[in-house]
Structure 1
Amino acid sequence: MKLERLLNGAKNLVRTGWMQNGIPPAIGETVASHSFEASILAYILSCEIRKKGIDINPEHSAIIALFHDAGETLLGDLPKWTTEKINKRDTEIKAFEELGVGKELFLELKEMRTNEAKVAKLADRLSTYLQAIRYKKLGFNVNEIIKTYDEEISKLLDIEPLNYIKDLVVNIMNSLKENNEDNK
Structure 2
Amino acid sequence: MKQSHFFAHLSRMKLINRWPLMRNVRTENVSEHSLQVAMVAHALAAIKNRKFGGQLNAERISLLAMYHDASEVLTGDLPTPVKYFNSQIAQEYKAIEKIAQQKLVDMAPDELRDIFAPLIDENAWSEEEQAIVKQADALCAYLKCLEELSAGNNEFGLAKTRLEKTLELRRSQEMDYFMAVFVPSFHLSLDEISQDSPL
Gaps of 5+ in 2: 109-115, 193-199
Q: Deviations over 1:9-57 (max 9, x none)?
A: 2111111x2x312116xx3100000000000011111111111321111
CA shift in 2, pair 1:165/1:146, >3 Å:
closer
Match of 1:168, SS? helix
TM-score by length of 2: 0.76
Deviation at 1:107, TM superposition (A): 5.0
Aligned equivalents of 2:76, 2:70: Cα separation in 1: 10
Deviation at 1:130, TM superposition (A): 0.5
Instruction: Note if contact 1:41-1:123 (Cα within 8 Å) is conserved in structure 2.
Output: yes
Q: Deviations over 1:63-110 (max 9, x none)?
A: 1111111111111101234323351111001111111166644554x8
Count of residues in correspondence between the two structures: 171
Q: Identity over the aligned pairs, expressed in percent?
A: 22
AA at the equivalent of 1:78: L
TM-score by length of 1: 0.81
User: After the TM superposition, which residues 23-102 of structure 1 pair with which residues of structure 2 at under 5 Å, given as runs?
Assistant: 23=24, 27-51=26-50, 52-83=52-83, 84=85, 85=89, 87-100=92-105
CA shift in 2, pair 1:3/1:91, >3 Å:
same
Aligned equivalents of 1:96, 1:164: Cα separation in 2: 29
AA at the equivalent of 2:24: I
AA at the equivalent of 2:16: L
Gaps of 5+ in 1: none
Deviation at 1:137, TM superposition (A): 1.6
CA shift in 2, pair 1:129/1:174, >3 Å:
same
Out of 116, 128, 150, the residue aligned to residue 164 of structure 2 is 150
Q: Deviations over 1:87-146 (max 9, x none)?
A: 1111001111111166644554x8974322211111111111111111112221201111
Match of 1:20, SS? coil
From the CA coordinates, give the structure whose radius of gyration is larger. Answer: 2
CA shift in 2, pair 1:111/1:98, >3 Å:
closer
CA shift in 2, pair 1:111/1:150, >3 Å:
farther
CA shift in 2, pair 1:112/1:97, >3 Å:
closer
Match of 1:56, SS? coil
CA RMSD of aligned residues (A): 2.4
Aligned equivalents of 1:32, 1:146: Cα separation in 2: 22
